[in-house]
Chains A and B, each alone.
Chain A
């Protein structure tokens, strides 16, 4: 079969894809940053002496890790508003779901990282009169942040891909725009291939960076 490639419609419609790409980035980076910050808090809560902090944090983490992201996205758009009585825009619902989902995974990275620090480090800090908070901030976290970087980068890569699921809520991100164009022009091969390439170009640098980082850290230890 001889297929006639036709990229001319892409030349006309690329601003649509670019707008989609912008929305993808607007979903991706803020939910990563917020998810990281929230995940740090949750990870610390998981290790807190108090059960009243540790138990709910555990439940939260498990809920988000053990259910599909797709149901989380849909739930925050259709179900959550009924609970709180405020309608969310598709974008806000997606941002919320992706942030909370990311925070659960980051919490596990933080918890694992902190637990990998030898107990003697806490002891050394404590014996000098440092409070838990001081020990965490000055002694423990500086040692684990570097070690956690590859895992965080991987999470970021995963999240970039997962943002495409927001298309089911009609968030006008890259995937959504691609599907719209492809069904409008009946040119799925050109359009969806282009969309895939755009995702690749967006994500590959992170992947490359992560692999290098991992190798550097492995060489050091």
Chain B
């Protein structure tokens, strides 16, 4: 059911035949994906279908079992003589700077204020001087509408505010690609909107992003491409209109039927 892939030259992110197993359990079974600069890919699928695992392989929070990932035309990892690919820790740290990630559970650092959360990696990872990092962090917080909350600890912030700080924290590193793993799934319904507005703003800036979400209406409006993941493979791929409004596959249709509450 997978569409033939468009050409991958010029892709910012190029994934080929990606496999990931946990012990005997093969979660990803051959994923091919090319993401062009400025593209926004929404990944949908049932619980346990491997959406998080896929995103986590893209910034090497998980190391793929098989397959290659190229960033901006350069394949990552070193291929040994026997064909196995090794990923040195240093290279992975550099990749993670270029591929930002926003988690469902925010994962803010509770012992740091909002602005300290945002400037932390600028200082420790990039070596930016503290003053400069603070200015940058304040600018990023202002961008997500939280300039006033810069000195608040995460425990004093609502879920929506925490997630916006997490987005600012990712943005401060100037990532080339942003990964969102169900960024609104752990939020109270009334707080979902403020986070989605921030993400939409990033989309309008033309940022390249991959987004796992159950907010199908949001995916429809924001994504340039939608993939439906089932059993560790892309079961159906296409434009939002193709996949969400005119799904061809049986499983895509039944998945969408179960999420029929969304309106375009």
Contact = CB atoms under 8 A, between A and B. Distances in A.
A158 interface: no
Contacts of A138: 120, 124
Interface stretch (A55-63, A80-88, A119-127, A165-173): A119-127
Given A121-B109, A138-B124, A142-B111, A128 B103 contact: no
Given A128-B173, A130-B125, 14 more contacts: A120-B105, A123-B61, A123-B103, A126-B96, A127-B59, A128-B96, A129-B97, A129-B121, A129-B173, A131-B90, A134-B124, A138-B124, A143-B110, A143-B111
Interface of A: 120-121, 123-132, 134, 138-139, 142-143
Given A129-B121, A130-B121, A124 B109 contact: yes
B225 interface: no
Contact of A139 (B101, B106, B109, B166): B109
Contacts of A124: 103, 107-109, 166
B125 A120 contact: no
Contact of B93 (A130, A139, A142): A130
Contacts of B111: 142-143
A129 B106 CA distance: 16
Given A134-B124, A138-B124, A127 B61 contact: yes
29 contacts: A120-B103, A120-B107, A121-B109, A123-B61, A123-B103, A123-B107, A124-B103, A124-B108, A124-B109, A124-B166, A125-B109, A127-B96, A127-B101, A127-B107, A128-B96, A128-B120, A128-B125, A128-B170, A128-B173, A129-B94, A129-B125, A129-B173, A130-B121, A130-B125, A131-B93, A134-B124, A139-B120, A143-B109, A143-B110
B100 A127 contact: yes
Contacts, number: 60
The 5 closest A-B pairs by CB, nearest first: A124-B107, A128-B121, A129-B97, A120-B107, A127-B101
Nearest to A129: B97
